[in-house]
Amino acid sequence: MAFYGGYGEEQDRLAHGKLTDSSVEPTDVGLLALPDGTTPGRRRVVGRGSRIYVQAEPFTAWGMLDLSN
């Protein structure tokens, strides 16, 4: 399971967790980065299955991150 987002300095936070019977146990926290290493800034984000799709400004192309790897 993954959660994306936050406020201020943590707006690009990507938190991974393991789903248990009664909760989500955190396993890792990092920042979502574009292929060039920068953070997306203003962006659109969609999650489907194990994939996160990101469209950063100028909103002309989508990038994809597969969390199953």
pLDDT band, residue 30 (cuts 50/70/90): very high
Report pLDDT digits (tens) over 51-68.
Answer: 999 998 899 999 998 988
H/E/C letters for each residue in the chain?
CEEECCCHHHCCEEEEEEECCCCEEEEEEEECCCCCCCCCCCEEEEEECCEEEEEECCCCCCEEEECCC
